[in-house]
């Protein structure tokens, strides 16, 4: 059974409404910070990160299907297309990982958004290092892609994207604010109230609480190193 696809931040696909993944507790964030060195540690350089992982190889026929379905992603027009293709890639699983990582680094908005969403849905921690090397956060210019990347990182166990998602709570786009709080709630269990549709003043108080929470978490993680 495949996981429901995560709703993308990308405006082209913003109508996709389903999110996946169990809530990760604060304890999980603390434990993960040690194993990932998450956020500030160095990872293997360049393609070395991908070379260190041996993915299950697709058969010739499956490899052709992966390429054909990847090409369809750029032609998506409606929510059903996104869901159908996302379900297909998730059902293929590991043999499709190299293609998904390639798509995540694409200059095509739809390809990048789709790939990051599916990678987040897979929640396979082996994807974390190759993803960070293929698509460094510092290389992402578009804010919507930064939100997508932050969410994918969090779903894979890397909390370095949390500050980006907290910034998303202040986005002028109500959709981006809604997606940011959903990702934070699913990935942290911080339990801080926030309403994406509330007034700017009300949202500001909640954002301040989120920033305070993250400051305390970050300090605690530093002390544990």
Residue-wise pLDDT tens digits, 171-223: 999 999 998 999 999 999 899 999 999 999 999 999 999 999 999 988 766 55
Q: What is the mean pLDDT of residues 21-34?
A: 41
Query: What are the C-alpha distances in Å from 189 to residues 43, 165, 179?
Result: 27, 14, 15
Q: What is the mean pLDDT of residues 144-165?
A: 94
Q: How many residues does the chain have?
A: 225
pLDDT of residue 77: 86
pLDDT of residue 189: 84
User: Residue 49: pLDDT above 90?
Assistant: no
Q: Which two tokens stand for residue 130?
A: 């190759």
**Alpha-carbon span 47 to 55, nearest angstrom:** 14
Q: Which two tokens stand for residue 60?
A: 């010739």
Is 184 buried (19+), middle (13-18) or exposed (0-12) by CB count in 10 A? buried
| Residue written as token pair 């790939």 | 115
Q: What is the mean pLDDT of residues 63-90?
A: 95
User: Residue 44: pLDDT above 50?
Assistant: no
**Alpha-carbon span 127 to 156, nearest angstrom:** 7
Does the domain at residues 11-224 carry the CATH identifier 3.30.43? no
Q: What is the pTM of this model?
A: 0.73
pLDDT band of residue 51 (cuts 50, 70, 90) is low
- With a pLDDT cut of 70, the percent of the chain lying above it is 74
């Amino acid at each position: 059974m495949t996981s429901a696809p995560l709703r993308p931040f990308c405006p082209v696909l913003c109508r996709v409404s389903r999110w996946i993944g169990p809530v990760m507790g604060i304890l999980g964030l603390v434990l993960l910070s040690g194993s990932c060195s998450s956020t500030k540690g160095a990872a293997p350089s360049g393609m070395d990160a991908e070379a260190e992982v041996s993915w299950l190889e697709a058969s010739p026929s499956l490899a052709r299907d992966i390429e054909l379905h990847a090409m369809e992603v750029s032609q998506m027009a409606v929510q059903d297309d996104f869901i159908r293709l996302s379900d297909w890639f998730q059902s293929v699983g590991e043999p499709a990982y190299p293609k998904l990582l390639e798509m995540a680094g694409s200059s095509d908005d739809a390809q990048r958004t789709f790939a990051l969403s599916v990678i987040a849905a897979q929640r396979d921690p082996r994807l974390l290092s190759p993803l960070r090397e293929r698509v460094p956060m510092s290389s992402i210019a578009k804010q919507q892609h930064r939100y997508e990347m932050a969410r994918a990182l969090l779903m894979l166990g890397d909390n370095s994207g949390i500050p980006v998602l907290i910034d998303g709570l202040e986005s002028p786009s109500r959709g981006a604010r809604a997606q940011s709080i959903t990702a934070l709630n699913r990935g942290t269990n911080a339990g801080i109230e926030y309403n994406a549709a509330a007034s700017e003043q009300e949202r500001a108080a909640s954002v301040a609480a989120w920033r305070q929470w993250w400051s305390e978490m970050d300090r605690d993680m530093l002390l544990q190193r």
